[in-house]
Amino acid sequence: MKKLFSLLLAVVVCFAFFSVLDLPVYAAKEPPAEGGPLPVIKLPVPKSPEEKNYLGLKGEGSFTIPQIKAKVVIIEIFSMYCPYCQNEAPRVNELYNAIENNPDLKGKIKIIGIGAGNTPMEVDIFRKKFQIAFPLFPDVDYSIHKVCGEVRTPYFIGVKINENGSHEVIYSRLGSIEDANKFLDLILQRSGMKKEGS
Amino acid sequence: MAKKSIPIFASLFLLLFVSLSYGISEIYKDYIYQPGTLKPVDSKTKLRVGDRAPDFTLPSISGEKVSLSQYQGKKNVVISFVPAAWTPVCSDQWPGYNLVKDMFDEHDAILLGITVDNIPTLYAWTRPMGNIWFPVLSDFWPHGKVAKKYGVLRSNGVSERALFVIDKKGIIRYIDVHDINKRPPLEDLVRELDKLKNN
């Protein structure tokens, strides 16, 4: 009985410890499923006014993905050390430009990158090398990578954000987006921003 | 009761907090062998900062032999020992260095990548990394001779994950025998190369 009590106490204390630290407690076994919710991903509000403005955020501290001012957020989990991510960077830039140059889409679809295991300097190198205009966030301790199922990279997650603040994963897949325009079309259809066949 | 609870707390902490997490690139798909968490360091180098770097000559995947001494008086040298081809962290370390050739150039430095694998293995493993600008050297035979000379050969015959920064005079200026399970942050290497620039 005493042993059982010790075990229960240990569990409670450990969970309390992690809650206080605001750390993800465990690694997810699977990546976020399409049709389901996104795990809680807390990111620091960018210091750069341009990035803050792009994401529609105010103040300081942290934010979660559904707080981004957009109908759809595309998250790329990448690493500066990943050759596929290096090859993919121009294609993702093409996607970003296709969105930003379309007045109907600008402001409605946002892209962010999360550098799995990357330090701020490593993320910054990736940004400068490939002239990436959308916000990139370092995930030094892999904590976000863990809650996203420790996916290989590059991994893309599309999240539809509803007006009532709820959200849904509409795309969750490993590997290249292949064709920026076709990918964008798919996102538009899955998010309901464009009806199929239109 | 408090004493009895310690192992339970420790086990739970490890279970909850420690997890293998590699940002492995899709480039290698399922071809990467997962060795699990290894003893962080399994050797003890006798080399110290300020020592002369032991010279060596090793074959490279491009077919040429490369000696440390050929860079003396010409280039600073960064030696990157990685434990083995086709393993998780190693496969995600050199592609990053491959992206920052300009950083090495700015510091008038060359990078020498060394593992104890043989040339065909190294060739096949590095192909998907793209055009690698730095020499990739095989310390396969006599097995791990250079790693041993540098004091970074582990008891199972692979090398540590280690970085040595050597100045143009051939003197060791930085040693990082890193936790084999983790990739050394680029910040550390840049800081050490900056020190050479400032001297």
Give mean pLDDT in consecutive 10-residue pieces for chain A, a chain of 198 residues: 55 45 62 95 96 95 96 97 93 98 97 96 96 97 94 95 94 96 97 74
The shortest C-alpha distance from B48 to chain A (Å) reads 28
In a domain, B17, yes or no: no
Q: Say yes or no to pLDDT of B128 above 80.
A: yes
Kindly report the nearest CA distance between residue B190 and chain A, in angstroms. 10
Diameter over CA atoms, chain B = 65
Question: How far apart are the C-alpha atoms of B90 and B22, rounded to whole Å?
Answer: 10
Give the span between the Cα atoms of A167 and A65, in whole angstroms: 9
CATH of the domain at B117: 3.40.30.10
Please check whether residue B5 lies inside any domain of the structure: no
ipTM above 0.85, yes or no: no
Beta-carbon contacts of B97 under 8 Å, excluding residues fewer than 6 positions away, are: B80, B104, B111, B113, B134
Task: Verify whether the Cβ–Cβ distance B26 to A81 is below 8 Å.
Answer: no
Looking from the CA of B85 toward its CB, the CA atoms found within 13 Å total 22
pTM of the predicted model as reported, rounded to 2 decimal places = 0.83
Mutate to test the interface with B, among A126, A147, A152 (most CBs of B within 10 A): A152
Q: Is residue B185 part of a domain?
A: yes
Number of domains composing chain B: 1
Contact A2 B185 (CB under 8 A): no
The rounded distance, in Å, linking the Cα atoms of A78 and B105 is 26
In a domain, B13, yes or no: no
**Structural domain harbouring B57:** 50-198
With respect to residue B163, please indicate whether it lies within any of the assigned structural domains. Answer: yes
Contact A122 B5 (CB under 8 A): no
Q: Which residue of B has its CA nearest to A153?
A: B25
CA–CA separation, B38 vs B52, rounded Å? 30
The tens digit of pLDDT for each residue in B75-85 reads 999 999 999 88
Whether the pLDDT of residue B112 is over 80: the answer is: yes
Is residue B43 one of the residues assigned to a domain?
Answer: no
Please give the Cα distance from B136 to B11 (Å, whole number).
Answer: 41
Architecture of domain A2-191: 3-Layer(aba) Sandwich (3.40)
Q: Per the domain annotation, does B140 fall within a domain?
A: yes
Q: Is residue B30 part of a domain?
A: no
